[in-house]
Amino acid sequence: MAPRLGFLCWWGTEKDSQKGTPVVVTMEKPNFSVVEIDGPDAAFRPVEKSRGKNAKQVTWVLLLKANRAVGCITWLVTVLWALLGTIKKRLIYRQGVAIEDGKLGRGRLLFGVIRAFLVTSMAILAFEMLAYFRGWHYFQNPNLHIPQASDLQGLLHSLYVAWLTFRADYIAPLIQTLSKFCIVLFLIQSVDRMILCFGCLWIKCKRIEPKIQGDPFRLDDVEGAGHKYPMVLVQIPMCNEREVYEQSISAVCQIDWPRDRLLIQVLDDSDDENIQVLIKAEVAKWSQKGVNIIYHHRLIRTGYKAGNLKSAMSCDYVRDYEFVAIFDADFQPNPDFLKLTVPHFKDNPELGLVQARWSFVNKDENLLTRLQNINLCFHFEVEQQVNGVFLNFFGFNGTAGVWRIKALEESGGWLERTTVEDMDIAVRAHLNGWKFVFLNDVKVLCEVPESYEAYRKQQHRWHSGPMQLFRLCLPAIISSKIAAWKKANLILIFFLLRKLILPFYSFTLFCIILPLTMFVPEAELPLWVVCYVPVFMSLLNILPSPKSFPFIIPYLLFENTMSVTKFNAMVSGLFQLGSSYEWIVTKKAGRSSESDLLATAERDSKVMNQALIYRGASESELSELSHLKECEKVAAAPVKKVNKIYRKELALAFLLLLASLRSLLAAQGVHFYFLMFQGVTFLLVGLDLIGEQMS
């Protein structure tokens, strides 16, 4: 029998059970001898892994691992050092932060107060912790026991007992009185929110909505069909709107309405000549396509947006039009906007305004836009809709609305006395007996501010203007001929409760009293004030936008912190401080919508036909085209972002975090954990907003 060569056994691939038919090879005259081998030779035996490693190899392996560990530590140290260096430059030395001289000193007083409060709170918190761990926690007993002088040991102990006496006799009663007053205001405002929510629920259940009777544009008579369309004037006020002017003009020019009964006014208040040239070219482009559009520019730019609208309404040709629709530069109405809004005026001579709802193209851009979307959805879905159905009055939002020109003229027209010209004209029209309609189903695309700086300036204008208007309109409201309950609604609810009380109690209760309680436990707020009621009200605010439920805690904390800006704006408007008349155009990002696809196609066709244009153009036209291209290059140049550290907000975040830590000494339970989570979450929100500026 021929020998079997066991190579498969050597490599461990032979199995115990053989498969197939064995093959036997025989040789007639073999010239070799057969030797039976029991196992593989020693040279072919597998070498154990433990063998063959000497001390030198082990040393090299350890050195390699140590090198990797040192490299990782070095990288972490480098990153930490770079981060500390950046914080030092921007937070301490303010390098790389370009701020105007007039704005550099603005807000220093508030920041100084918060910083002093923060340092004092840290010192008192350390003192409190020392006293707590040393067993000096006398405040656990409701009846404060002051030991005798003979029982006192040590100067530190004496100072601590003196502090307990002073805060229990003088500080705590004042804080308790103020907190009770704010809690009453808080409950009143909460009841108002609940009533609005119940009204919205009633509207949804009963399916109450403004309806158009019949089909006002039915073409029964082809020859006289055009007379069913009233004359409509569309105004687009803008000021240095380089990012959004093109898409706004394009969307308005595509509105479905007879061209002979529609006029579009582009009210350009830009002081940049390059932007003026671009807007003029856009207007000329649509004018060549047959759109009835004109360009209007003021030489004397006074009164901001109100002055711009007032100047446009003074033109002679405006008297031929019956209605006027207003769109800000970042708004993009759908083609059927006028067909969904203007018919509501038919057979309703008392109707002066039809307001549409806003819809946001960048609501999911970052955390700030998501939080704004929560507030604005509640404003339109609940406040505007309920007031429109039950009161026929609400504040005009300044854009995405259609006015009856007669109502504007009888109410005094646009006035330049405040920064909220939209609310001003709405209040005066209401005093003259005009009614308003809000269409929740008609939505117009627009943008919300994506940076914290733009959002803060916008909120300052929105909260200082109503207080200016309240001071100016109060005598007119009292002496008006409307019903008494309408006067009470305007004064007590529209102005005082929603414009004055809301920022006052939010700032006082959650940004002053809550941090004070961390070293004055006698004035500790009830758990339902700090936790249950705010969470419940936040849930009500988020109901119109259910996808925002994961952001309920950041929304609650962010709103409480933004009350600092809102309270400051409210005070400046109420007492006519200098910043109350400040108007800064909200910066836009120029987010695209579906209607921008047409504009993109037009730009492509324009590039393809550029050679034909040059061939048939004269020298003057060629010079204009070259100037336009230069302006487009200047306008398209990227603007370098300015990194800013908002020190007031960051200091306030740490202050609320300290308030959460202090609650451990007062209530070691659910209250502490909620406030700890509150402080940490708000700190993360603040860092996220700062990261948006540094990205």
Q: What number is the average pLDDT over the span 674-682? A: 48
Q: What number is the average pLDDT over the span 213-239? A: 73
Which tokens in the block code for residue 137? 């926690």
Q: What number is the average pLDDT over the span 105-114? A: 60
* Contact yes or no for 429/384 (Cβ under 8 A): no
pLDDT exceeds cutoff 60 at 10? no
Q: What is this structure's pTM?
A: 0.70
Least-confidence region, from 3-12, 373-382, 536-545: 3-12
Dump pLDDT digits (tens) for 306-323. 999 999 999 999 999 999
Question: Are β-strands 351-360 and 401-404 bridged in parallel, bridged antiparallel, or unpaired?
Answer: antiparallel
DSSP helix/strand/coil, 630: helix
Q: Give one DSSP letter per residue of 545-580, joined into a string.
A: SGGGGGGHHHHHHHHHHHHHHHHHHHHHHHTT-GGG
Longest dimension (CA), the chain: 136
- Percent over 90 (pLDDT), the chain: 38
- Most confident among 70-79, 373-382, 585-594, 659-668 (mean pLDDT): 373-382
Sheet containing 232-238, strands listed edge to edge, beginning at the edge strand earlier in sequence: 293-297, 262-268, 232-238, 323-326, 401-404, 351-360, 435-446
Q: How far is 441 from 457, CA to CA, in rounded Å?
A: 29
Reported as a pLDDT band with limits 50, 70 and 90, residue 436 is very high
In this prediction, residue 119 carries a pLDDT of 74
Specify the amino acid at residue 176: Q
Q: Rounded to the nearest 5°, which phi and psi values hold at 64?
A: -65, -45
Q: CA angle, 471 as apex, 468 and 476 as ends, to 5°? A: 125
In this prediction, residue 672 carries a pLDDT of 45
How high does pLDDT run on average in the chain?
A: 76
Domain range summary for the chain, segments of one domain joined by +: 232-450
Dump pLDDT digits (tens) for 560-614. 778 888 998 898 888 887 666 776 777 776 665 544 544 444 544 444 444 434 4
Reported as a pLDDT band with limits 50, 70 and 90, residue 127 is confident
CA distances from 646 to 345, 508, 586, 687 (A): 48, 21, 18, 10
In this prediction, residue 644 carries a pLDDT of 46
Reported as a pLDDT band with limits 50, 70 and 90, residue 532 is confident
| Residue 644 host element (H or E) | none
Q: At what angle do helices 304-313 and 421-431 cross, to 10 degrees?
A: 60
Measure CA 133 to chain center: 43
Nearest CA among 694, 102, 108 for reference residue 451: 694
Least-confidence region, from 14-28, 389-403, 539-553: 14-28
pLDDT exceeds cutoff 80 at 669? no
Higher-pLDDT residue of 66 and 310 is 310
DSSP helix/strand/coil, 538: helix
In this prediction, residue 440 carries a pLDDT of 95
In this prediction, residue 39 carries a pLDDT of 53
Q: Which amino acids are annotated catalytic?
A: 269, 422
pLDDT exceeds cutoff 60 at 7? no
In this prediction, residue 311 carries a pLDDT of 92
Reported as a pLDDT band with limits 50, 70 and 90, residue 142 is low
- Most confident among 2-11, 56-65, 215-224, 292-301 (mean pLDDT): 292-301
Reported as a pLDDT band with limits 50, 70 and 90, residue 658 is low
Q: How far is 36 from 1, CA to CA, in rounded Å?
A: 12
Dump pLDDT digits (tens) for 33-58. 555 555 555 545 555 544 555 777 77
Reported as a pLDDT band with limits 50, 70 and 90, residue 62 is confident
Dump pLDDT digits (tens) for 358-416. 999 989 888 889 999 999 999 999 999 999 999 999 999 999 999 999 999 999 999 99
In this prediction, residue 104 carries a pLDDT of 46
The 3-state secondary structure of 371-387, one letter per residue: HHHHHHHHHHHHHHHHH
In this prediction, residue 242 carries a pLDDT of 87
The b/e string for 202-221 (b: 16+ C-beta within 10 A; e otherwise) is ebeeeeeebeeeeebeeeee
Q: How far is 140 from 667, CA to CA, in rounded Å?
A: 10
Q: What number is the average pLDDT over the span 12-18? A: 44
- Percent over 70 (pLDDT), the chain: 66
Dump pLDDT digits (tens) for 251-273. 999 999 999 999 999 999 988 88
In this prediction, residue 23 carries a pLDDT of 56
* Contact yes or no for 444/337 (Cβ under 8 A): yes
Beta strands in 187-318 (DSSP E): 232-238, 262-268, 293-297
In this prediction, residue 627 carries a pLDDT of 53
pLDDT exceeds cutoff 60 at 639? no
Higher-pLDDT residue of 509 and 408 is 408
- Most confident among 119-123, 174-178, 673-677 (mean pLDDT): 174-178
Q: How far is 253 from 262, CA to CA, in rounded Å?
A: 10
In this prediction, residue 55 carries a pLDDT of 72
Contact residues for 569 (Cβ-Cβ < 8 A; gap 6+) = 459, 460, 461, 462, 463, 464, 503, 579, 580
Architecture of 232-450 per CATH?
Alpha-Beta Complex (3.90)
In this prediction, residue 4 carries a pLDDT of 46
Which tokens in the block code for residue 74? 């070095």
Q: How far is 512 from 521, CA to CA, in rounded Å?
A: 14
Reported as a pLDDT band with limits 50, 70 and 90, residue 223 is very low
Q: How far is 618 from 40, CA to CA, in rounded Å?
A: 98
In this prediction, residue 26 carries a pLDDT of 59
Which tokens in the block code for residue 510? 């959650």
